[in-house]
Amino acid sequence: MRSNRIILIIIIALMFSSLIGCNSENEQVNDNMKTPEETVSSWTDEIVENFLISIDKKDYESFSKDFSESMKSHLNEKMFKEQVLPISELIGEYIKGSKKLLTTEEVDENNIKLIYSSDYSNEKNEVIVTTVFDKDNQLIEGLFINSEKIQNMQ
């Protein structure tokens, strides 16, 4: 009788372990079914949202926390105050959560460009936010914000 219980416990344990293995396979299949845009935006969306909100807060440290060293040297705190903040005043505040990924494009084997549309309080048309990310270290290598009002100020 005791040996029957042991055999039953082993059979149940084997069944559970096979169920767990099936679940892992399903998760892997679901990851493989993601489009390249979904895969990239899974880690870029939060970074982009953070720097857009940081502009409104005039918080350079938070704005640049996901910049590569090269990007930080090109867009330092002084440039942030002189170039980014005036644009922010022109187009207004970023409407949180309004960004939508429009497209992704491989720049080269290390970098990917993502183009988002976003809404701002003083801009009736969409604002286009273009970012370039280093895929390996997941840091921003390039950033460009454009809109109708920005175009008209130049």
| pTM flag (> 0.85) | no
Question: Could you give the CA distance from residue 51 to residue 35 in angstroms, rounded to a whole number?
Answer: 25
pLDDT tens digits for 32-48?
A: 555 555 666 678 899 99
What's the one-letter identity of residue 104? T
CATH topology (fold) of 36-153: Nuclear Transport Factor 2; Chain: A, (3.10.450)
pLDDT tens digits for 52-77?
A: 999 999 999 999 999 999 999 999 99
| 8 Å CB contact between 145 and 127 | yes
